[in-house]
Amino acid sequence: MDITINGTASGTDTAGKTIGQALSEIDERLEAAGAIIVGVRVDGIDVDADGLAGAAERDAGGPGTIELAAEPAADMKARAVETLLKGKEIPLPRAQSFTDKDGITRHNIRVRWWDRGATNYRDAFLGTESMATAIPEDDIEGDHLVEYSHDDVPVFMGHYWLTGTPAPLAPNIACLDYSVAKPGGKLVAYRWDGERVLDPEKFVAETAVEFALTETL
């Protein structure tokens, strides 16, 4: 197979090796160089961990292509921290952009990383309805999801400035940020008793009250 890394031939001897063995060898070389594999395409198709496992026993010396995307490990760690703190973002296609509520031009969108039913950029966009009209309806290029099974323990997160009635985003995923710092926003909590499937009735919310401080002379 022809194996490339960021578009350049990997120089890997694939004779007598499986795909799994060849990729392990490449992974070790990249790690020694301070880089990490961040994407894999087999015969022109993006594959995730499950798909890669299914191809691992194929003969690496046979026909076909493997395209690897790699980047410095330091950059990968920085992106991981940013995703953890701010949520996953993906670039819009064809260098498109939109203007956010603060007048800033954005080329990336924050996405509904748990939503497997969102297959185009607009459906995957996490933001206000008014801004969503500026997001293209093109099919998503690549993967916008985060691998987190709906059978895993619940995740509670913030940062998204949601509005409306608090409710689960997925069976085991909930956001507790309902814009309490804005007029009409809500301070939200969830009474969790160890359940794996979240109950909409266990959200507790209090609407924010505006008040002014006056200085007493």
**Residues 87-102 pLDDT 10s:** 888 999 988 998 887 6
**Going from the N-terminus, what domains does the chain have, and what CATH number goes with each?**
2-77 (3.10.20), 155-207 (no CATH)
Say whether pLDDT at 213 is over 50: no
Say whether pLDDT at 49 is over 80: no
Query: In the prediction, which pLDDT does 48 show?
Result: 74
Task: List, in sequence order, every residue forming a beta bridge with 4; answer none if it has no partner.
Answer: 9, 67
For the chain, what is the mean pLDDT? Answer: 87
Query: In the prediction, which pLDDT does 207 show?
Result: 93
Say whether pLDDT at 214 is over 70: no
Query: In the prediction, which pLDDT does 209 show?
Result: 77
**Buried-exposed string 136-165: b where 16+ CB fall within 10 A, e elsewhere:** eeeebeeebbeeeeeeeebeeeeebbbeee
Q: How confident is the model at residue 217 (pLDDT cuts 50, 70, 90)?
A: very low
**Residues 146-164 pLDDT 10s:** 888 888 999 999 888 899 9
Q: Is 78 exposed, middle or buried (0-12, 13-18, 19+ CB in 10 A)?
A: exposed
Higher pLDDT, 103 or 37: 37
Distance CA 41, CA 127 (A): 30
**Residues 66-92 pLDDT 10s:** 999 988 888 877 778 778 878 888 999
DSSP designation for 125: B
Contact 143, 50 (CB under 8 A): no
Average pLDDT over residues 197-213: 84
Nearest C-alpha neighbor of 135 from the set 96, 167, 173, 104: 96
Q: How many Å from the N-terminal Cα to the C-terminal Cα in the chain?
A: 81
Distance CA 140, CA 124 (A): 9
Q: Please give the structure tokens belonging to residue 96.
A: 């498109």
